[in-house]
Amino acid sequence: MTRSVRILALITDGFGGHGGISRYNRDLLTALSQNDAVAEIVVAPRLGRSDQGELPPRVRQLPPVFNKVGYSLRAIRLAMTDGPFDVVFCGHILQVPLAAMVAQGMKVPLWVQLHGIDAWRCPKPVVRWGVEQARMVTVVSRYTKHRFLSWANVRPARVRVLPNTVSDRYVPGPKPVHLLERYGLHNKRLLLTVSRISLDEQYKGHDRVIAAMPELLRSFPDLVYVIAGDGNGRMKLEETVREQGLHNHVKFIGRVNEDDLPDLYRAADVFVMPSTKEGFGIVFLEAMRSGIPVIGGSEDGSMDPLRDGTAGYAVPCDDREALIAAILSALERPRVSSSDADIFRFPAFSKHCAALLDHLLAASSC
């Protein structure tokens, strides 16, 4: 197939960035760049760093523009002077009004990507207008699709689920001695949560696990709850730990380098994140691929990586006894098979992206 398709990608953060949305954008754009029909993808990030690392072939990422007006002007200028483009990809719902205007100006289809909580409630009228102009909307989970369709005037056939993908860096293995030594965790059973610790994201469930620790310690006195991540909510959690006298059994290790994450999962015995507002939860896939049991919520997008409870424990997050029972059961299990996450590996994700692009282009030519 001749390479002819050019894509303009308006995103919050991409290559060189951090966080789940940044990673998702990198995976999606990398997958699209491998499509034989794609000639070039021009990426315009709103945030991030100028140091973007090595880019995939046929991907050109511009430096970020932190000023909102300046970013809008750049997007319009790209459309006018760097075209023609065949598709406008929008990586976040808050960028949709700009992306819709750019796509309409060029008379090309708009592809909008939605993640989680930002798309669960009806936004401002201008944002709603923008997303309803999309020829295709992809969402990370069935739950986000359901919440989005509850307020958007978009035909359900235009909304497709495109879940996160997981890296092959995450594989089972023995507990890494160097990491246990670094954090003083030798001969301990470890619960692990990897997440931002934000006052705006208290739904992640750190407090629920901390509240369960006294009862868990009756069965497993050597248990330590390891919290990886940082944010403005950490101080409040640390105060809770001190008040409950759990300082020897809850360890905050801060933000972990990407290179150390595979070893961190292998060091743990159980991964737990009883979130109530998760768009998807790629950390569940990383833990599953590392061969450890996973526990998540049953009321949000976590159900997709947990595969409705068949690949992990899905518990009602406000049910303290159910959470405790799930953790105790998981701690008594041996290491688990990593194959439950195989359907989320990059080859399957890339194939899915190629089919979606083909569908979008075919629908736009009708």
Half-sphere exposure of 161 (CA within 13 A, CB side): 15
Q: What is the pLDDT of residues 220-274, one digit of tens each?
A: 999 999 999 999 999 999 999 999 999 999 999 999 988 999 999 999 999 999 9
- The letter for the amino acid at 129 is W
Question: Do 5-165+345-365 and 177-342 fold alike per CATH?
Answer: yes
How many CA atoms, within 13 angstroms, populate the side-chain half-sphere of residue 247? 5
DSSP 212-255: HHHHHHHH-TTEEEEEE--STTHHHHHHHHHHTT-TTTEEEEEP
Q: Is 314 left (phi over 0), alpha (psi -120 to 50) or beta?
A: beta
Of residues 153, 164, 114, 118, the one with CA closest to residue 11: 114
Amino acid 1: pLDDT: 46
Q: Which has the closest alpha carbon to 108: 77, 136, 78, 86?
A: 86
Residue type, 226: V
Q: How far apart are CA 117 and CA 235, in angstroms?
A: 24
Whether 226 contacts 263, CB under 8 Å: no
For the segment 104-113, what is each residue's pLDDT rounded down to a tens digit? Answer: 999 999 999 9
Q: Kindly report, residue by residue over 304-315, the tens digit of the pLDDT.
A: 999 999 899 999
pLDDT at 366: 64
| Residue 295 and residue 303 in contact, taking contact as beta carbons nearer than 8 Å | no
Q: 64: cis peptide before it, omega within 30°?
A: no
Which CATH topology does 5-165+345-365 take?
Answer: Rossmann fold (3.40.50)
Indicate the residue type of 208: R
| Segments making up each domain of the chain, as ranges | 5-165+345-365, 177-342
Query: Within 10 Å of residue 307's Cβ, how many Cβ atoms?
Result: 16
Order of strands across the sheet with 189-194? 250-254, 223-228, 189-194, 270-273, 294-297, 313-315
pLDDT digits (tens, 9 = 90+) for 274-318: 998 899 999 999 999 999 999 999 999 999 999 999 899 999 988
Question: What's the sign of the alpha-carbon dihedral 148, 45, 304, 276?
Answer: negative
CATH-assigned architecture of domain 177-342: 3-Layer(aba) Sandwich (3.40)
| Axis crossing angle, helix 20-33 with helix 282-289, rounded to the nearest 10 | 80
How many Cβ atoms from other residues are within 10 Å of residue 268's Cβ? 23
